[in-house]
Chain A
């Protein structure tokens, strides 16, 4: 009997101790953060949700890195990276449709789109200030538009995802025109609710503004050759009195003077304390700019991408001009040495001259966005310089381009001269009258100098149709032998990552891949 009492005790005791009889044993909630059902309740949540959209643009494979490499396929840049597959990518040799530069970019654009779709789906139900709500939704639309804009012109026919992703969702692949239409629709919806640039102040500076959305929309129209629609938008932007060229050209590429009067839209970065690279989504992740680590001279950067030699000579201006505050004549466009490191450039880079570094005098390297003026050590993943995606000089020159195409050369010329004559550049103004094609070529040269190394060039040669004809390819090939391997009707677009084609049989590959 004694032992049976013990048994009972033991049984009861052990069951209690060992098994706890916890009713909710199987109900576990994630201690690391809220579920989506718990989130999206307050105005603060909406603000954070939209910051996440902006963060998408900052990613490694968007403007941080991949975008820069995709744009570097243009005739102003080339790669001599010993990483042969990477260099081949800029030579239009892409045997692997999953090559990381383009497939990571594809991924990161869609990560951004997923974030914007979440914001656009969930913010409307939040009880909050109506004005702020409308603006946040417009900002999300703007960011979605940027993403589809790049996807449309890099990849062409891409799946259109406009609702919040779930695991089972499959999207229809749009034509390039349908993707452009999506960009236009988002921008048209966003423009009324976006404030003017100068309405933002303090920490809000740099957010999507009316002018930014209008500029992007005008870029789409330019690609579509709808010059009058584009020109009308440029007129609005110029007339909004929100923007002015900076006196110093250099101010557009340094950490100082970010979000300045010339800035229409920038991807914001900040120098992070640690060199952790390739921003992830965690508290300690770098919020710094990756590009300087890859675009620059060897030893201090990976030197993966370099300017073509012709660009150096393009800065030799036939018009006599004067350095600012000086009467000394000089024949070299001052923008050359801000854009490019070469043996011709007398500056010190990271504390040493070109010769002191022992760099090859036959080679030249990108200088824009480098921290060579503020650092003497190698570049790494801690650069804080914002990437200027759209600046006012671009609006002025595109308006000049649109007007030229519309046959209004006389109206175009003063806009070009504004860019040529900013104080730090101070080239002689263009005068006289030009035939349409002559002015067209002048503007193109001006753009090459003004935007060298900024990635704009790829969109320029695309818009100008140079990649649509053999004559155009021959012109590009003369400047950049990489175009030898350019396949008409194929190489203008990147391959859609094979991965998605394998997973979703509804997605088809671009022709020729």
Chain B
């Protein structure tokens, strides 16, 4: 038996390195084969492999243990294999626990494979090494791809939400939206570099939107330092490893997937109709002492119903009805794959074509993705090649402006279309004064399109030098071209705006990322000691180039011809390029003794062209320890019900060079002279001026993130109940951030990157699962819990704050990122007496301009007036607790899953509410919100008071409309029925009647079906508006309610 181990490794090492899930066969289970003596002569063995429902599993790998012979099951799950006497067969299939069966004297071996018991017993790729999951001592979580993709998603990140503890996903419902994901909190003070690194089959990427989710075989999230340190400067914010599907040896398979779904906005506001609006608007003017009939260009004659007025009852626009539509999404996918295994050679191929289309819930935005994947591999002797590539073409139309606020504020007395206006859309006017933009016209007069092509993939070449030593070259490419165009038709969309010129702007360019990695992997067992060591060297290069041009004055008759040469005036041309590079040395090693005592170490030395030479190199590293106490005899004897108990701890230092800004952050340390700071000379000729306009960052160096993690993995009741828990503290030091410098330095072109301070995230993560299978009935539950505490622990200069945040948040020493900093709303004055009685300690009337019905604020500093000095910290933008619960059950052909998700502890600043309830400019009103009046003494909503009144009336209106107050802040907690999915697999008896037809599953799923929240905006699940303003809802595109019906067919 001792000989069989290296032999096996010869076969399996390349496979292991190319991430095929065969590694459990290595060494540690070899003992099982010894148990029986051969009693049968060599010859064919046949059998059928079925799943937990008794249905044939196609494509299961069948291997003779210790030999070179392998095959795969056919569509019905049947196989035939030539097996020598005394053979042990190994059956493995992704998502199922591998089984080894001693053939003995049988010629038929039928096996039922069980779904893998929640990530136990399989292998997982951690960094550059494939490890047995049981022996992983880092904090690593895998997505149950099969379960998560029961509800189809446009982008795989959407499937992560609530399913992996420690991962936060924030996105919109906009077509083509790529949600922002953060792992274990926001680890940086900057804003573009807080996302994780995605490693797709060995290609490093920060774009996962374009990856076809149907192609994903497995997805693993690496969370702690010990699992990500090998990625050095890119590992700080976690790593998401994606492995795409590969063809398998056996009968070629074809699968077809298709679905169609419909999207709708979750809620609509109850707004006033034209008549109700007119009544309120006139009151607002009169309260402010303004004459609605004669107020210059701000007249409201169109709201006055009596003498002199021109209220027109025939116009009553329901803007929400005009603006929203039923969105549509569809996806069609065909995959065919296959492979062969021979004596010394093996080949695999997989081709997948996919079309995804999503049309918005608003007329305009649209997203189409066409993708084609080709994965193929060839093993010959000691060589193994694999390539994975996806070509993607995108066709996108973007949303314009802030229509989700405009649709609420624009008044119902304005018609959607108005031929009297150039462009043809209704707007406010001098008889219907409003500053709202026509939200329907905004999507039609301007058309912003993007056409992208992306080729992303890699090729690996492995050479097994010895059985225990493999060299690999991994060369990867991510090439992207884009062609964006903004075609603007002439017209107006808002009162008092001049008619814009028709114009076409085009932006073209490409970016390309190239990387090459050379690694050498040593793996060997010395008795009970298992050693796996990898060393590597890599180079990376990123280049971007772009050009832009604009022309204006396009003829509109009989239609617009939007090509640059058709514009009567041409002029704008621009462009630029930049390049940055990285060179790295890295190592990763694991060691275990008896699969019981586990050690891993990793390190990386990165040099980046983005830093000045003296700050260029950074060293990063981590280590972890694990103890599988359940493998100890004493433990087994004492607690036999415990199938697995592993204690883990890790510690490590990671880096981040996530710089951006001017020239992609490539040249920040060097002050740069802008050669087009132009002026006009006395002859009227434009002359070049030159000046530094952006301050440089000469001293920036690597950001570091230090993470400590302790955790345990537990399995009970025959692995039916699993638990994984982690607690971590991670401190980001010298966080690289674009820091606001005093404006008086004259900087222009973006905030200046500095090592801006320290930041700490700490949290507890829990993943709990229970899975049970009884005859035809299987069911299970998975629960995740994530807590997060984020705090700035040091700042570069005393008192430094990080503003931004739309003027409503502030981040400073001791606060979390983007904490709300606002003047406190304190109800409504019910009488002038109350106003006069509202004084500070010195007896000063605090809001002398106010009257009954006006807003009262807290004079926090007691100086007798309300101003910016009265702002206080008023709540966090980051949720403190996130929960996810997935329930699933299957009975015979039916499968059902229900997924609930919740966040709590965060606040949201609601800009839509500000727009609707400020009352200082004529906007539409909420019919169900009654303003204060003498007959309706509201304590939450002030009186109707148009801005622009004289004296105190003007001051009171401005005070009521103050934006930086807690009046617009709301509880952002929610519980959402994220998905319900019901599927039915048509019984074999029926599908078998059609030749070659395999499994056929039909399903319906609903997304965002129910939401429980106090938040009054369109959607509590808002991504916010920027790094320091994640809790500020500028009425981004809301997440939508979707119902999908689909079919999955295998041949």
Residues of A within 8 A of B (CB): 3-4, 6-7, 10-11, 14-15, 18-20, 22, 25-39, 45, 48-55, 58, 80-84, 87-88, 91, 93, 95-98, 103, 106-107, 110-115, 117-118, 158-159, 161, 165-167, 169-171, 200, 202-207, 258-259, 268-270, 272-276, 281-285, 287, 293, 298-304, 306, 360, 362-363, 378-380, 384, 481, 484-485, 497-500, 502-505, 507, 513
Q: Which of B518, B550, B689 contacts A55 (CB 8 A)?
A: B689
29 contacts between A and B (CB under 8 A): A7-B465, A19-B516, A28-B581, A28-B666, A32-B578, A32-B663, A51-B689, A54-B679, A55-B678, A82-B297, A84-B947, A84-B957, A107-B748, A110-B745, A117-B746, A161-B746, A165-B747, A167-B745, A204-B682, A206-B682, A270-B684, A274-B570, A276-B550, A298-B430, A363-B297, A500-B742, A500-B744, A503-B801, A505-B799
CA distance A118 to B746 in the complex (A): 11
Chain A residues within an 8 Å CB radius of B497? 302
Whether the Cβ atoms of B682 and A167 lie closer than 8 Å is no
Whether the Cβ atoms of B673 and A111 lie closer than 8 Å is no
Whether the Cβ atoms of B581 and A26 lie closer than 8 Å is yes
Chain A residues within an 8 Å CB radius of B298? 80, 82
CA distance A91 to B498 in the complex (A): 24
Given the known inter-chain contacts A10-B463, A25-B609, A97-B868, please indicate yes or no for A3 contacting B297, CB distance below 8 A: no
- Across the two chains, which residue of chain B brings its CB closest to A299? B498
CA distance A258 to B692 in the complex (A): 30
Given the known inter-chain contacts A36-B672, A268-B680, please indicate yes or no for A165 contacting B693, CB distance below 8 A: no
CA distance A502 to B809 in the complex (A): 12
CA distance A503 to B797 in the complex (A): 9
Q: Which of B294, B498, B663, B689 contacts A48 (CB 8 A)?
A: B689
Whether the Cβ atoms of B581 and A25 lie closer than 8 Å is yes
Q: Which of B742-762 contact A (CB under 8 A)?
A: 742-748, 752, 754
Interface segment, one of B113-121, B351-359, B958-966: B958-966
Q: Is B306 an interface residue (CB 8 A)?
A: no
Whether the Cβ atoms of B746 and A115 lie closer than 8 Å is yes
- Across the two chains, which residue of chain B brings its CB closest to A15? B518
Given the known inter-chain contacts A19-B516, A84-B920, please indicate yes or no for A30 contacting B746, CB distance below 8 A: no
Whether the Cβ atoms of A169 and B745 lie closer than 8 Å is yes
Looking at the assembled complex, report how far the CB atom of B606 sits from the nearest CB atom of chain A, in whole angstroms. Answer: 10
Whether the Cβ atoms of B690 and A45 lie closer than 8 Å is yes
CA distance A287 to B740 in the complex (A): 28
Whether the Cβ atoms of A51 and B688 lie closer than 8 Å is yes
Q: Is B937 an interface residue (CB 8 A)?
A: no
- Across the two chains, which residue of chain B brings its CB closest to A274? B571
CA distance A274 to B937 in the complex (A): 55
- Across the two chains, which residue of chain B brings its CB closest to A86? B435
- Across the two chains, which residue of chain A brings its CB closest to B682? A205
- Across the two chains, which residue of chain B brings its CB closest to A164? B692
- Across the two chains, which residue of chain A brings its CB closest to B422? A378
Chain A residues within an 8 Å CB radius of B539? 18-20, 22, 25
Chain A residues within an 8 Å CB radius of B752? 167
CA distance A11 to B810 in the complex (A): 54
Given the known inter-chain contacts A30-B666, A167-B754, please indicate yes or no for A202 contacting B683, CB distance below 8 A: yes
Q: Which of B426-440 contact A (CB under 8 A)?
A: 428, 430, 433-435
Whether the Cβ atoms of A284 and B574 lie closer than 8 Å is yes
Q: Which of B574, B663, B689, B810 has the most CB of A within 10 A?
A: B689
Chain A residues within an 8 Å CB radius of B745? 110, 114, 161, 165-167, 169
Whether the Cβ atoms of B958 and A95 lie closer than 8 Å is yes
Interface segment, one of B40-48, B763-771, B831-839, B948-956: B948-956
Whether the Cβ atoms of A281 and B676 lie closer than 8 Å is yes
CA distance A380 to B501 in the complex (A): 9
CA distance A379 to B499 in the complex (A): 9
CA distance A466 to B752 in the complex (A): 42
Chain A residues within an 8 Å CB radius of B576? 32
Looking at the assembled complex, report how far the CB atom of A349 sits from the nearest CB atom of chain B, in whole angstroms. Answer: 15
Q: Is B904 an interface residue (CB 8 A)?
A: no
Q: Which of B90-126 contact A (CB under 8 A)?
A: none
Whether the Cβ atoms of B681 and A206 lie closer than 8 Å is yes
Whether the Cβ atoms of A55 and B679 lie closer than 8 Å is yes
Looking at the assembled complex, report how far the CB atom of B4 sits from the nearest CB atom of chain A, in whole angstroms. Answer: 22
- Across the two chains, which residue of chain B brings its CB closest to A165? B745
CA distance A276 to B573 in the complex (A): 12
Chain B residues within an 8 Å CB radius of A3? 381-382
Chain A residues within an 8 Å CB radius of B613? 26-27
Given the known inter-chain contacts A28-B580, A159-B744, A302-B498, please indicate yes or no for A281 contacting B803, CB distance below 8 A: no
Given the known inter-chain contacts A18-B518, A20-B539, A26-B581, please indicate yes or no for A93 contacting B498, CB distance below 8 A: no
Whether the Cβ atoms of A274 and B748 lie closer than 8 Å is no
Whether the Cβ atoms of B679 and A379 lie closer than 8 Å is no
Q: Which of A287, A300, A481 contacts B680 (CB 8 A)?
A: A287
Q: Is B992 an interface residue (CB 8 A)?
A: no
Chain A residues within an 8 Å CB radius of B430? 298, 360
CA distance A186 to B3 in the complex (A): 90
Chain B residues within an 8 Å CB radius of A93? 954-955, 958
Chain B residues within an 8 Å CB radius of A28? 579-581, 609, 666-667
Chain B residues within an 8 Å CB radius of A117? 746
Whether the Cβ atoms of A36 and B673 lie closer than 8 Å is yes
Chain B residues within an 8 Å CB radius of A285? 676, 678
- Across the two chains, which residue of chain B brings its CB closest to A158? B744
Chain A residues within an 8 Å CB radius of B656? none
Q: Is B772 an interface residue (CB 8 A)?
A: no
- Across the two chains, which residue of chain B brings its CB closest to A147? B746
Looking at the assembled complex, report how far the CB atom of A142 sits from the nearest CB atom of chain B, in whole angstroms. Answer: 14
Q: Is B537 an interface residue (CB 8 A)?
A: yes
Looking at the assembled complex, report how far the CB atom of B933 sits from the nearest CB atom of chain A, in whole angstroms. Answer: 22
Chain A residues within an 8 Å CB radius of B743? 103, 106-107, 110, 497, 499-500
Chain B residues within an 8 Å CB radius of A30? 578, 663, 666-667, 670, 672
CA distance A481 to B949 in the complex (A): 10
Whether the Cβ atoms of A502 and B678 lie closer than 8 Å is no
CA distance A26 to B607 in the complex (A): 7
Q: Which of A87, A502, A507 has the most CB of B within 10 A?
A: A502
Chain B residues within an 8 Å CB radius of A206? 681-682
Given the known inter-chain contacts A20-B539, A378-B499, please indicate yes or no for A48 contacting B690, CB distance below 8 A: yes
Looking at the assembled complex, report how far the CB atom of B438 sits from the nearest CB atom of chain A, in whole angstroms. Answer: 14
Whether the Cβ atoms of B741 and A82 lie closer than 8 Å is no
Given the known inter-chain contacts A26-B607, A96-B963, A360-B430, please indicate yes or no for A283 contacting B689, CB distance below 8 A: no
Chain B residues within an 8 Å CB radius of A298? 297, 430, 496
Chain B residues within an 8 Å CB radius of A504? 742, 744
Whether the Cβ atoms of A275 and B552 lie closer than 8 Å is yes
Whether the Cβ atoms of A485 and B951 lie closer than 8 Å is yes
Q: Is B641 an interface residue (CB 8 A)?
A: no
Looking at the assembled complex, report how far the CB atom of B719 sits from the nearest CB atom of chain A, in whole angstroms. Answer: 43
CA distance A375 to B921 in the complex (A): 33
Looking at the assembled complex, report how far the CB atom of A241 sits from the nearest CB atom of chain B, in whole angstroms. Answer: 20
Chain B residues within an 8 Å CB radius of A91? 948, 954
CA distance A508 to B39 in the complex (A): 93
Q: Which of A38, A281, A360 contacts B677 (CB 8 A)?
A: A281
Chain B residues within an 8 Å CB radius of A114? 691-693, 745-747
Chain A residues within an 8 Å CB radius of B461? 10, 14
Whether the Cβ atoms of A26 and B583 lie closer than 8 Å is yes
Chain A residues within an 8 Å CB radius of B676? 281-283, 285
Whether the Cβ atoms of B741 and A167 lie closer than 8 Å is yes
Chain A residues within an 8 Å CB radius of B951? 484-485
Whether the Cβ atoms of A82 and B667 lie closer than 8 Å is no
Whether the Cβ atoms of B672 and A35 lie closer than 8 Å is yes
Q: Which of A161, A171, A259, A360 contacts B296 (CB 8 A)?
A: A360
Query: Which 9 residue pairs spanning A and B have beta carbons closest together?
Result: A114-B746, A205-B682, A18-B516, A51-B689, A52-B689, A52-B691, A284-B572, A52-B677, A274-B571
Chain A residues within an 8 Å CB radius of B538? 19
Whether the Cβ atoms of A502 and B803 lie closer than 8 Å is yes
Chain B residues within an 8 Å CB radius of A113? 744, 746
Given the known inter-chain contacts A30-B667, A384-B684, please indicate yes or no for A35 contacting B673, CB distance below 8 A: yes
CA distance A259 to B807 in the complex (A): 43
